C-alpha cells in the first residue's frame, strides 16, 4: 500500500500497539538520507531505540530485538537494491512493520507485502514530499504518538522552510565556495572532510558518494569530536581540511576543530550551516534538518569539481558495470 510517513506510523501503531525499536536500513546514499532520522530519534525519544544499519548488516548480524514491536524504515532510491529487499523480507519474517521508500514505483522495494512511499526525485518537488523529510516525519509522528513531542509543529514548519532556504543557499554556494573548492581539489590529491551531529551523515556522504563515487577523488571523513583523538596529528601546512559546520548543539565540536585547524594548517574551507540559512529554523529542530540543505550544497560542490576535471558526476567505471 502506498502511504506517507504519518499514515505509516498510524498503521504501524494500529498493528503493533507500540513501537519499541526502529531500524533505518539502506545502502550508500539511501542510508545517508536516513541517518539524520536515526540521530533525531536517538536524541529525542525516551522510549524508542533507534539503529541505522547498512542493509547487509541487518541480514548478517540480525539484532535479536528485531521483532513484533519493531519498525523497519528501508530506503532504496532505485527501488531495486538487492540488500534492501533481502533485509525487508527478513524483518517481515520476524514480525516487524515494514515501511519502504523509493523514487521508482513497481520495483522490488515497492512490494505489496509492506507499505511504501513513492516520491518524485525532481528539482521542484517540495522537501516534505521527499525521502529524507519523510524519515524525519516518521520520528516526529512516533514520538508525538507515544510520548508527546514539544517541537512537533516546529519540525513540520522547518521542513517547509527548507524549500526557500535551499534555493538561496545554492546561489550563495555557487557564488562563494564552488570555485575555491574546485581550485583546492586541483591543488590537493587528498583531503579530509569534517562534520558532526546529524550532519555527519552528509560529511560521510560527501566523501563516499559525491567525491569517491562520483568524482574518483581520494578523501577521508572525520567526526569533528573524534578529530582530537588521533586524526589531528596529521594536521600541518599543506594538508587540506573541509569543515561542514553544524547549526545545532554539536556546533561546539566543529568550533573546537576549526580553532585548531586555523592555527595548524594554511589549507582549509568552511561551509557554515548558519550562514547558509539554517538560522531561520527553530533551534530545537534545525540540527535534524540541516543535512537536507547541506546535501544540495554538496551537489553544487561536486559539480564544480566535475567541471574543472571534465568529470561528469554520472560517470562510473565499476558500479553497475562490473560484477561484484
- Which mean pLDDT values do the consecutive 10-residue runs of the chain (324 residues) have? 96 98 98 98 98 98 98 97 98 98 97 97 95 98 98 98 98 98 98 98 98 98 98 98 98 98 98 98 98 98 98 95 91
By DSSP bridging, strand 218-223 and strand 190-195 are parallel
What pLDDT was estimated at residue 299?
98
d(CA 309, CA 165): 29
CA nearest neighbour of 290 among 196, 151, 215, 190: 196
The string of pLDDT tens digits covering residues 47-104 is: 999 999 999 999 999 999 999 999 999 999 999 999 999 999 999 999 999 999 999 9
What are the chain's domains?
A: 5-149 (3.40.50.10490), 153-309 (3.40.50.10490)
- What are the residues facing 270 on neighbouring strands? 243
The number of beta carbons lying within 10 Å of the beta carbon of residue 181 is 22
Q: What is the 3-state secondary structure (H, E, C) of the chain?
A: CECCHHHHHHHHHHHHCCCCEEEEEECCHHHHHHHHHHHHHHHHCCCCEEEEEEHHHHHHCCCCCCCCCEEEEEECCCCCCHHHHHHHHHHHHCCCEEEEEECCCCCCCCCCCCEEEECCCCCCCCHHHCHHHHHHHHHHHHHHHHCCCCCHHHHHHHHHHHHHHHHHHHHHHHHHCHHHHHHHHHHCCEEEEEECHHHHHHHHHHHHHHHHHHHCCEEEEEECCHHHHCHHHHCCCCCCEEEEECCCCCHHHHHHHHHHHHHHCCCEEEEEHHHHCHHHCCCCCHHHHHHHHHHHHHHHHHHHHHHHHCCCCCCCCCCCCCCC
pTM of the model: 0.97
Q: Which residues of 54-86 are buried (b: 16+ CB within 10 A; e: fewer)?
A: ebebbbeeebeebeebbbbbbbbbebebebbbe
What pLDDT was estimated at residue 1?
85
Task: Give 261's contacts (C-beta < 8 A, 6+ positions apart).
Answer: 235, 241, 243, 268
Task: Give 322's contacts (C-beta < 8 A, 6+ positions apart).
Answer: none
The region, left, alpha or beta by phi > 0 then psi within -120 to 50, assigned to residue 47 is: alpha
Amino acid at each position: 500500500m502506498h502511504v506517507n510517513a504519518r499514515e505509516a506510523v498510524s498503521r504501524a501503531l494500529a498493528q503493533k500497539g507500540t513501537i519499541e525499536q526502529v531500524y533505518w536500513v539502506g545502502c550508500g546514499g539511501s542510508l545517508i538520507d536516513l541517518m539524520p532520522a536515526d540521530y533525531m530519534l536517538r536524541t529525542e525519544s525516551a522510549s524508542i531505540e533507534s539503529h541505522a544499519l547498512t542493509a547487509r548488516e541487518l541480514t548478517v548480524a540480525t539484532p535479536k530485538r528485531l521483532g513484533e514491536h519493531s519498525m523497519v524504515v528501508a530506503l532504496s532510491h532505485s527501488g531495486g537494491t538487492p540488500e534492501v529487499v533481502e533485509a525487508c523480507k527478513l524483518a517481515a519474517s520476524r514480525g516487524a512493520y515494514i515501511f519502504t521508500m523509493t523514487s521508482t514505483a513497481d520495483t522490488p522495494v515497492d512490494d505489496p507485502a509492506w507499505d511504501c512511499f513513492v516520491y518524485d526525485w525532481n528539482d521542484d518537488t517540495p522537501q516534505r514530499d521527499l525521502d529524507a523529510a519523510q524519515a524525519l516525519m516518521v520520528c516526529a509522528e512516533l514520538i508525538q504518538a507515544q510520548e508527546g513531542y514539544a517541537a512537533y509543529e516546529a519540525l513540520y514548519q522547518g521542513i517547509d522552510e527548507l524549500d526557500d532556504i535551499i534555493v538561496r543557499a545554492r546561489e550563495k554556494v555557487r557564488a562563494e565556495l564552488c570555485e575555491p573548492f574546485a581550485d583546492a581539489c586541483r591543488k590537493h590529491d587528498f583531503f579530509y572532510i569534517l562534520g558532526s551531529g546529524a550532519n555527519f551523515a552528509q560529511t560521510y556522504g560527501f566523501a563516499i558518494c559525491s567525491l569517491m563515487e562520483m568524482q574518483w577523488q581520494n578523501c577521508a571523513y572525520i567526526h569533528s569530536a573524534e578529530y582530537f583523538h588521533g586524526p589531528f596529528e596529521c594536521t600541518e601546512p599543506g594538508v587540506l581540511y573541509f569543515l561542514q559546520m553544524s547549526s545545532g548543539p554539536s556546533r561546539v565540536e566543529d568550533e573546537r576543530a576549526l580553532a585548531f585547524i586555523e592555527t595548524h594548517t594554511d589549507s582549509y574551507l568552511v561551509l557554515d550551516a548558519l550562514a547558509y540559512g539554517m538560522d531561520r529554523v527553530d533551534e530545537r529542530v534545525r540540527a535534524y534538518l540541516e543535512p537536507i540543505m547541506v546535501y544540495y550544497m554538496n551537489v553544487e560542490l561536486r559539480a564544480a569539481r566535475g567541471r574543472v576535471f571534465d568529470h561528469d558526476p554520472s560517470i562510473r567505471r565499476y558500479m553497475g558495470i562490473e560484477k561484484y
